[in-house]
Amino acid sequence: MAKRVQLVLNQDVSKLGKLGDLVEVAPGYARNYLVPKKIASPATPGILKQVERRRELERQRQAELKQQATEQKAALEKVTGYNISVQVGENEAIFGTVTTQDVADVIKQNASIDVDKRTITIADISRLGTYEAEIKLHSEVTAKINVQVVAK
């Protein structure tokens, strides 16, 4: 069986790896496709040092993002009055629904923190009451807040 070749990827390749990854591929795949198209370059000691430096910088950046997310979580959970006013019909049923955009607007108003509505998870709200919303601030940090739905 042929010897495998080590390459460092210069861009993301599906089913192979991401930018900067050290991968082992068949020599023909490397020689005929990856290297000529400048998708990957041979793994030399100098390039391996560059890759390690990039990984370290990325680790530091991720740690910094996690720290910011932890601080945001503390700020979000410190505020207690997240109230959303809605129109109410019979039996405390609301007209329409409370959306994640409504929750994001209330957070912006009360805590002065911009939160992307796509990171908010909330149960289907059709009545007045208190509901728990989950906000994914980072892959490892999730904040939970209580949202009070009240009548106008």
Q: Report the chain's terminal Cα–Cα distance, integer Å.
A: 74
* 48-102: pLDDT as tens digits: 898 889 889 989 999 999 999 999 999 888 887 789 999 988 887 888 888 899 9
Q: How far apart are CA 137 and CA 116, in angstroms?
A: 9
pTM: 0.69
Domains for the chain: give ranges and CATH numbers.
5-66 (3.40.5.10), 69-151 (3.10.430.100)
**For range 115-128, the mean pLDDT:** 90
Q: How far apart are CA 145 and CA 73, in angstroms?
A: 9
Q: How far apart are CA 71 and CA 25, in angstroms?
A: 43
